Structure 1
Amino acid sequence: MDTASFEALYTAQQTRALDRCAIDEHGLPGITLMSRAANAAFDSLLNTWADPECVQVLCGTGNNGGDGFLIADLAHKRGIRTRVLQVGDADKIGGDALLARNQALANGVEILDFEPGAVMSAGVLVDALLGTGLGGDVRGAYAEAIDEINAADVAVLAVDIPSGLCSDTGRVLGRAVRAELTVTFIGLKRGLFTLEAGDHTGELQFADLGVPAQVYRQVPCDSYRLELEPLLELQPPRPASAHKGLYGTVLVVGGDYGMAGAAALAAEAALRCGAGLVKVATRPEHVAALVARAPEVMARGVESGEDLQPLLESADVLVVGPGLGQSPWSEYLFQVAMKSGKPLVLDADGLNLLAAGKAAPRPGMIITPHPGEAARLLSCSNADIQCDRFAACRALQHKTGAVAVLKGNGTLVADAQQLLLGDYGNPGMASGGMGDVLSGVIGSLLAQGAGPLEAAALGVCLHGAAADLAAGEGMRGLLASDLMPWLRELLG
């Protein structure tokens, strides 16, 4: 997939490589970049809080603290009551950060050593404690300072990244600052868009600090932030001569006893996203309910693999797993579907049966696990998956050979070459059936001619964007079926 329309996402190591390249190969002194960062952050501060009562800057001993000293200097020059609280041993400050500290001192900025209780509940707090180099849990005075920032109940601006948030994974390292605004520099850090980041970054703004475009071409990147509009533009318009045979047949295999709704949601989503025909292979007892819900769905009761075979032959794409269960009936249908050779989306109990070794992975699959299902596939814990979702998604792709979609806050999509992140969606999606809708969306796009990676990427964005629109009426009580009209509207 051409990623030219998407924003690159960087690890901490890659961001440092961007810094080094800008400084060493393009003649941008480190103190110049630090000054530009401070100006960008201070401009954002004033644009957000036009007339702050005071500005308190909490500075660490690294370059993040250097940015903070220069922000304090700018605020002081503007006539705003300003003070710096120094966290950590000031004797350890060196390089550009020391130059910045000395400049602030020379211009009359008040710099005090941080002590418990020193943070005032007034004005705007600037978090310049810890940057992207944090390698373990926050401890000592830094932990105390973060706790005081979070308890102060005032506006907080985080410099580059909220202190305590892992820039590579979005994981909170013990504790992390909760900011209303984060201004990040040079490269977008991938951890700002997934896992726990949304509870800590607030509004996110980016400043490239005037780094030449050549720098970004010199530092390789394999992770990108998806955008819906460029993906929608890849979808061809329908000709006046269009007919249902042009847009594929999707077969949903699932709906064991008590779980017919999952298959119904996947089927309806596939229809709403434009598939020509949608069929469902399910328990005979569920056929009437499925047809009553969506008469456009061609529901068939199946008792065995033999019953399933003609449906498989007529399908272009399979969606296997929504409400499938893990009974002998489920297992047999799963195995027959996996042997069919048809392109397929594997979800829910289809993934659990795969993890249990009931069939081997095969080419042409798209898998859509949530963290628990991913943990079963990788024989690890849910916590292991969430510790580094990027590594987990890559491991899923490598183990199965499939296009892997790791669901969650900041859903990830990976093939053998690329790792893509979709940050559409909201907490209202924490309800049953959302994954079934996603599998139907992806299956529909696949049936209409999209490649596996494109179908997964667009499906993830459509699903989250539809949920964002549906949440306009409130997040609590948001249902998976509420997404259906919005999916249709987004696709146009």
Structure 2
Amino acid sequence: MMIDIVSVNNMRSSEKVMMEHETSSIELMYRASLVLFKSYSWKGRIKIVVGKGNNGGDGYALACFLAEKELKPIIYKVEDPASEESSYFASKASSLGVLIKPYQSDKNLLEDSDIIVDCLLGTGFQGEVKENYRKAIEEINNKKDAYIISCDINSGISGDYGPSSAFVKSDLTICIQAIKKGLLIQAKNHLKEIAVGDIGISLLEEENHLLDEKENLSLDKNLLQENDFFYAENGSHKLYVVPKWLKVTTLSYK
């Protein structure tokens, strides 16, 4: 297993080329949400907290799969959908009977959750978290009895530069197609497990990789350290070693 670690620009450019020549943005969001659905054994009281962008759209689309399996997720939106794709799946989720409510930080809406899905901020995030999103992130982190799942990247973490001053601490982060490099910065503070879901995007540029335990054994013993990871250099690329504290799995939408 060799998993791609990518920059935000590489990921976005690769998605753009695929949407221009192979498939639609709606289909890609469908595949991303299918990966989310397949990554975990969903049960109990599920609450999905969404933002206005396509990370939120993945949450609406995930809710469709859950509703079709007769689970009853509740979506709390910090803002209304701002993209065509998010609006499409929000409408579909509503038609399937999914409750979609405004997020209110003073109402303790995430109480009694078995699973909380973080779909607030995706790879478009950089800088500092706005106050309404910060409050949602803080409430998610305070729900110690719930299992926290982040979609693609933990909210509040830049895909290139790592954590801001407020970020979701997840039990499982389900990365779409590749691991965004910022997710691995100070990773012990926000990660426990990663699942990487292939949705059929061919990357335009090869960057760095994360290796599984078997491939780790073949590396030179002279490893270098960067943040919470050891790595070996392979030409202009880095081969990162999966540390013992992090579980990593892979899957496909197919």
| TM-score normalised by length of structure 2 | 0.85
Q: Residues 413 and 105 of structure 1: is their aligned pair in 2 closer, same or farther, counting only changes over 3 Å?
A: same
Q: Give the equivalent residue in structure 2 for 1:17.
A: 13
Residues 181 and 202, structure 1, Cα contact 8 Å, conserved in 2 = yes
SS, match of residue 158 in structure 1: strand
Q: Indicate the structure (1 or 2) with the bigger Cα radius of gyration.
A: 1
1:407 and 1:234 map into 2 onto residues whose CA distance is 16
Shift of 1:138: 1.2
**Alpha-carbon spacing, 1:412–1:109, altered in 2? closer, same or farther (3 Å):** same
The alpha-carbon distance between structure 1 residues 232 and 38, as it changes in their structure 2 partners (threshold 3 A), is closer
Q: Are 1:159 and 2:155 counterparts?
A: no
Give the AA of the match of 1:66: G
* Runs of 5+ unmatched residues, structure 1: 236-272, 274-365, 369-404, 428-492
Separation in structure 1 between the aligned mates of residue 60 and residue 245 of structure 2, nearest angstrom: 36
Q: Map Cα deviations across residues 447-470 of structure 1 (whole Å, 9 max, x no partner).
A: xxxxxxxxxxxxxxxxxxxxxxxx
> Residues of 1 paired with 2:244 and 2:97: CA distance?
46
* 1:418 equivalenced with 2:237 (yes/no): yes
Q: Is the 8 A contact 1:55 1:75 kept in 2?
A: no
Indicate the RMSD between aligned Cα atoms, in angstroms.
2.5
Question: Is the contact between residue 10 and residue 187 of structure 1 (CA under 8 Å) also seen in structure 2?
Answer: yes
The alpha carbon displacement at 1:38 in A equals 1.1
One-letter amino acid matched to 2:147:
A
The secondary structure found in structure 1 opposite 2:165 is: coil
CA distance in 1, matches of 2:68, 2:121: 25
Q: Which of 35, 39, 51 in structure 1 is aligned with 2:34?
A: 39
Point out the structure with the larger helix share.
1
CA distance in 2, matches of 1:200, 1:231: 23
Compute the displacement of 1:129 (Å): 0.6
Say which SS state the counterpart of residue 73 (structure 1) adopts.
Answer: helix
Cα 1:425–1:205 change in 2 (3 A) is closer
1:210-221 superposed matches below 5 A: 210-211=200-201, 215-216=202-203, 219-221=204-206
Q: Which of 1 and 2 has higher RCO (CA within 8 Å, sep 6+)?
A: 2
Compute the displacement of 1:413 (Å). Answer: 4.5
Q: Is the 8 A contact 1:409 1:423 kept in 2?
A: no
**2: distance between equivalents of 1:168 and 1:41?**
22
Is the Cα contact below 8 Å between 2:29 and 2:57 reproduced in 1?
A: yes
Which residue pairs with 2:93 in the alignment?
A: 104
Deviation at 1:199, TM superposition (A): 3.0
**Which of the residues 154, 177, 188 maps onto 1:198?**
188
C-alpha distance in 2 between matches for 1:140 and 1:231: 42
For normalisation by structure 1, the TM-score amounts to: 0.46
Q: CA deviation at 1:415?
A: 7.2
How many pairs were matched up?
A: 243
Quick one: percent identity of the two aligned structures? 24
Cα distance change on mapping 1:95 and 1:423 into 2, 3 Å:
same
Equivalent residue in structure 1 for 2:167, among 176, 198, 202 = 176
Residue 63 (structure 1) aligned to one of 54, 62, 84: 54
Question: Any idea what the Cα deviations from partners look like across 1:186-232, whole Å, max 9, x if unmatched?
Answer: 2222233x332233232111111133xxx23xx11232224554465
Asked whether the equivalents of residues 182 and 204 of structure 1 are also in contact (C-alpha less than 8 Å), the reply is: yes
The reply on whether 1:28 has 2:19 as its aligned counterpart is no
Q: Point out the structure with the larger strand share.
A: 2
Aligned to 2:251: none
Structure 1 residues 409 and 103, CA gap change in structure 2 (3 angstroms): same
Unaligned 5+ runs, structure 2:
247-254
Within 5 Å, give how 1:210-249 maps onto structure 2.
210-211=200-201, 215-216=202-203, 219-227=204-212, 229-230=214-215, 232-233=217-218
By how many angstroms is 1:407 displaced?
Answer: 4.3
Instruction: Report SS of the residue matched to 1:81.
Output: coil
